[in-house]
Each structure stands twice: as C-alpha cells, then as structure tokens.
Amino acid sequence: MPPRAEIVREWVRKARNDLETARRVMVDTNAPILDTGCFHCQQTVEKLLKAFLLWRGVESPKVHTLGVLFDLVRQQDEAFETIRDACEWLTRFAVQVRYPHGRDPSPQKAREALAAAETAYEFVLERLPAEVHA
C-alpha cells in the first residue's frame, strides 16, 4: 500500500473506532453516556473528512469546525453538500460537551448525532478506495 493510502487508512480506522465508541456508550448499555457519545460522533465525521482530504492530496487544517472541513471537501467533491446539514451541527460536540459548563445533549439529539455519524461514515467510504477502508 502506498504511504498516503496507509495514512488515510489510519484516519478511517480512527473514525471507525470513534463511531463504535459512540454506539457502545449510547446504545449498547443500560446507562447511556450521551455527552461522550456525541463527542465521538463529531470526531467520527471530523476524521472522515480529514481522511478524504488527505486522499485527495489536500492538507487539512487543524480545526474541529466541520463547516470549514466541508468547505474544503466540497471543493473536491460537490456531493458532500448532500450530507453537510446532517453533519455540520455536530461541531458543537467537539468542545462544549467535554467540560462541566456544557449542556448535555438530549436523548433525541444523541440519536440524531449517531445517525449523522453513521451516514457520514457510509458516505465517505463510498468515495474512498477499498484499500483504505479500515
């Protein structure tokens, strides 16, 4: 596997791990941890977008703001606009929910966050070659 493909594969693997963590703490438990799960949903999408940019040879900025990343991936593939609204709002979970001053997400918002992360995961994998799927 070429070096760039290996790096992209690692980003996809980390995104998959974040998605699996979100599922486990929000769904596969009798005591869901919604704030942590939503954080991992945001991380899933962030890492997927960065993986896509890396695959396209675009250096991604060190940001957590999904809107910035969507602007960049859209320049590479306009189809990303179809999932932007479903995912961009996850940016709020990058920082807010990790600290005491943040408000915990409702169960409904947590379900929406997980659905958005799952949608993004499938969407991005469809646009990356199988060799980088984790």
- Report, in angstroms and rounded to the nearest whole number, the Rg of the chain calculated over CA atoms: 14
User: What b/e readout covers 74-105, taking b as 16+ CB neighbours within 10 angstroms?
Assistant: eeeeeebeebbebbbbbbbbbebbeeeeeeeb
134 domain-assigned: no
Q: Residue 90 is part of which domain span?
A: 3-127
Q: What is the pTM of this model?
A: 0.94
The span from the CA of 35 to the CA of 48, in Å, is 20
72 located within any domain: yes
At 22-54, the pLDDT tens digits run 999 999 889 999 999 999 999 999 999 999 999
Whether residue 103 is contained in a domain is answered as yes
Residue at 133 is within a domain: no
Is residue 35 included in any domain, yes or no?
Answer: yes
In the chain, the number of structural domains is 1
Residue range 68-77, pLDDT digits in tens? 999 999 999 9
Q: What is the CATH number for 13? A: 1.20.120.330
